[in-house]
Amino acid sequence: MCVIFLWVFLAYHICVCIVLPGSLIEGRYGVQSYAILGLCYFVYFEIDGHSRRTQDD
């Protein structure tokens, strides 16, 4: 459930980054968007790695 939400959130962010002009993203949303994206990737890989470790046991 959480992973699905995360992928939807990432897809939304990627679409926004592609649709909006690059200058607008870099100027107003650049730092926030990349920070949020980085945080999402970190959380996803933490969840994914944790679930894989528990499955191996």
10-52, pLDDT tens digit by residue?
A: 777 776 766 665 555 555 666 677 777 777 788 888 777 777 7
Amino acid 57: pLDDT? 55
Predicted local distance difference test score (pLDDT) of residue 28: 60
| Beta strand spans in 1-57 (E) | none
Q: Is the pLDDT assigned to residue 7 strictly greater than 60?
A: yes
Looking at the predicted structure, is the pLDDT value of residue 56 above 70? no
Domain count, the chain: 1
Q: What is the pLDDT of residue 25?
A: 54
Q: Which is more confidently placed, 1 or 54?
A: 54
Domain encompassing residue 42? 2-56
| 43-46: Cβ within 8 A, 24+ apart | 43/6, 44/3, 44/6, 44/7, 44/10
